[in-house]
Amino acid sequence: MAAPRLTRRGLIAGAGAVGAGIALGGVELDRALGDSSGSGQVPFDGAHQAGIATAAQDRLHFAAFDVTADRRADLRDLLRVWTEAARRMTAGDLVGEVDALPAPPVDTGEALGLPPSRLTVTLGLGPSLFDDRFGLASRRLVALAELPPLPGDELEPNRSGGDLCVQACADDPQVVFHAVRNLARIGRGAVVMRWSQLGFGRTSTTSRSQTTPRNLMGFKDGTNNIKLEDGDALDRHVWADAPGWLRGGTYLVARRIRMLIEVWDRAALSDQEATIGRVKESGALLGEQREFDPVDLSSKRIPADAHVRLAAPSTNGGIKILRRGYSFTDGMDERLGQLDAGLFFISFQRDPAAFVELQRRLGSTDALNEYIVHTGSGLFAVPPGTTPGGYVGQTLLG
Amino acid sequence: MAAPRLTRRGLIAGAGAVGAGIALGGVELDRALGDSSGSGQVPFDGAHQAGIATAAQDRLHFAAFDVTADRRADLRDLLRVWTEAARRMTAGDLVGEVDALPAPPVDTGEALGLPPSRLTVTLGLGPSLFDDRFGLASRRLVALAELPPLPGDELEPNRSGGDLCVQACADDPQVVFHAVRNLARIGRGAVVMRWSQLGFGRTSTTSRSQTTPRNLMGFKDGTNNIKLEDGDALDRHVWADAPGWLRGGTYLVARRIRMLIEVWDRAALSDQEATIGRVKESGALLGEQREFDPVDLSSKRIPADAHVRLAAPSTNGGIKILRRGYSFTDGMDERLGQLDAGLFFISFQRDPAAFVELQRRLGSTDALNEYIVHTGSGLFAVPPGTTPGGYVGQTLLG
């Protein structure tokens, strides 16, 4: 082996021009919480995987993989190697240790010189992983089943499903691309990528320190989302607590929601506001003044089929989910001759039934349905977090 | 008409949490030049269109359109309306003046509350516009012809050509998406979008104040690019100066260059460096120490077919082009089962023959060809800049 040649930390430390460098200690947490673009580091290890109750970063690269290896030991090795690579990348390090000149680089290099950028890598396990291949059939949790057909579904198989998923979030798109690409690369021979989605801008807040962004309908989205400061709500609605391998984990639902923006753009402002139930500019409920004024569904200003009414926990038996979605565009849809753009919806919940119930209700009566189509879907169990040296999935495979 | 409801400036001025607000006066120029993410404003009017000799912003949304209107007056109206909308958006204003409640909003709203983010909107005219439809056949410049077939071409018709193009660049992806979407929206009835491309990260520097970013091959790209501080080089290589409607304008070449990254990732570091002719980590020429050490092509360390050697002006009769490319990924290529990712190459030059000659040379002997395929292509004449109240294309249609 040759001496180390490529380093990422070294470049960062030496490059004052690049940014603020690596945050340490208490500063890290401040950055993980902060709203503005961050260069800092989100700790990888912890009771829960990072990237869930982490202040939503600005950019996303999400990918689903199918496992082609057929031995349980290979799956375990893959998750070990992926975990270690993710741990290193989130710290701003290269994926691997050293480069030996005659071999391909251990890291593809496009993130050289970039700070950690609050990268988180969150790994999930799909229902299809729990078939006979790896002896996991008996470990499958009842809730870990493919989502049932839902109203609004026009799902494309090549945007749906997968044995494994990777959610990479950071404040720099090059950093999230680098993470997914390198996991795909080092997984070669054990996995093939099934689909992937770039999200260019966050549409959710998951911390009280963040301002509410707008989705591509132009409305503020996620005003009443669960915030990471609400430990009680996280425990009640997000973290699984039944004994077993998922304890401390959660379920991830991904939905590629195509917005029919050309139709939406022709709707009157008053119709748009009635559809959502909020004022477009301020984000306040119809009839209210400010974005965070409490939801009073007795108000006659909010139509019966307004999205905000149907999605409110008080009309859904208290159901709450943690949303962490991103806007996307994938160029033109040749079939329709329109921009293929919308919301890549991600939610975390302790039981996928929460999402299913909500979507059944929204999908059948929500005024928004006229303007959206669900074109992709995935459900994944997200194992709990790791201790240093451990790997994601160890509670299942260890 | 109802009173104004939605405003963008108002929200910005009132929202201290959002960012630094709008830069004014001399600060604007500093920001246009600056390297880091900027919230400021790049002036729209000027001798040349903005977005060319402007410090390359971080994000791109590029779109090509075909004109469906068939009268010259309609084309002129479109360019007038687009120019005014672009002028407003680059200033951080809404696309239109006021919202009347019963009508669709004049602005789609997703950039409400966002600062100008150094948005530039650059408009170009394709060769196909100069047919018989608008009486422009006699005004077509000889150089404004579709690019000839070039080595490495695997062009897809639905990613190539177009009567008009829009290059939107800014430091915020939501701002560039908003710009293209709103131009498409207000052009409805006169144009249809032909193709579009999101670029998630810049791969070029166009100012000495910027650090050199890395492309998806992991190499620093554009070290020897023309910089906006080099007025002489711009005059010699970029701005058209023959009398006529293009004087002060330029030609834009767009090429969607797919990188075969899974093949590249299997190449040894030494092979990668020999292919490019530079050291991956430092960006220095092989055998040199620092990125900006001068190009000495007599060095035997640089292979005969290295990209840097073949692309150097000294081996090309002094040809220089201003590059302004962006990395992209569009998810999985189902056909190949690989990430569809690469470089959306944009260059500006006073004569497209400069690009053609360079690409002929590179395409036939460049070691890089093993790893790239050109999947999309466009050529557009970029008219000169505007004075306040004027419109892009006025020198042709006015």
CB contact under 8 A, B331 and A197: yes
β-pair type (B201-202, B250-259): unpaired
Distance separating alpha carbons of residues A16 and A23, to the nearest angstrom: 14
- pTM assigned to the model: 0.92
Angstroms from A230 CA to nearest CA on chain B: 22
Give B326-366 pLDDT, tens digit per residue. 999 999 888 877 899 999 999 999 999 999 999 999 988 88
Q: A347: which 2 tokens?
A: 């939610």
Q: For position B364, what pLDDT does the model report?
A: 87
Closest by CA position to B166, among listed B146, B186, B152: B186
Give A325-352 pLDDT, tens digit per residue. 999 999 988 887 789 999 999 999 999 9
| pLDDT for A31 beyond 90 | no
Q: Which residues in chain B touch residue A269, judged by CB atoms under 8 angstroms apart? A: 5-6, 99, 101, 103-105
Confidence of residue A12 (pLDDT cuts 50, 70, 90): very low
**DSSP code, position A300:** T
Distance separating alpha carbons of residues B302 and B319, to the nearest angstrom: 20
Of A126-135, A305-314, A379-388, the range with the lowest mean pLDDT is A305-314
B177 CB near a chain A CB, below 8 Å?
A: yes
Give B124-182 pLDDT, tens digit per residue. 999 999 999 999 999 999 999 999 999 989 999 999 999 999 999 999 999 999 999 99
Q: Which residues in chain B touch residue A219, judged by CB atoms under 8 angstroms apart? A: 109
Give B263-294 pLDDT, tens digit per residue. 999 999 999 999 999 999 999 999 999 999 88
Q: What are phi and psi of A258, to 5 degrees?
A: -75, 125
Q: For position B320, what pLDDT does the model report?
A: 96
Distance separating alpha carbons of residues B120 and B170, to the nearest angstrom: 6
Residues 77-136 of B with CB under 8 A from A: 99, 101-105, 107-113
Of A82-86, A126-130, A289-293, A331-335, the range with the lowest mean pLDDT is A331-335
Q: How many residues does chain A have?
A: 398
Give A195-207 pLDDT, tens digit per residue. 999 999 999 999 9
Angstroms from B119 CA to nearest CA on chain A: 16
Q: For position B8, what pLDDT does the model report?
A: 58
Q: What are phi and psi of B233, to 5 degrees?
A: -65, -40
Confidence of residue A33 (pLDDT cuts 50, 70, 90): very low
**DSSP code, position B153:** B
- Counting beta carbons within 10 angstroms of the beta carbon of residue A36, is it exposed (0 to 12), middle (13 to 18) or buried (19 or more)? middle
**B336 Cβ neighbours under 8 A, 6+ residues apart:** none
Confidence of residue A100 (pLDDT cuts 50, 70, 90): low
| pLDDT for B315 beyond 70 | yes
Distance separating alpha carbons of residues A38 and A36, to the nearest angstrom: 6
| pLDDT for B11 beyond 70 | no
Q: For position B116, what pLDDT does the model report?
A: 96
Q: Which of B111, B185, B197 sits opposite A265 (nearest CB)?
A: B185
Instruction: State which H helix or E strand residue B318 sits in.
Output: none
A376 touches A256 (CB < 8 A): yes
Q: In sequence order, which ranges of chain B are alpha helices (DSSP H)?
A: 9-14, 26-33, 72-90, 173-186, 231-237, 261-264, 269-276, 307-311, 352-365, 394-397
Q: B74: which 2 tokens?
A: 């309609």
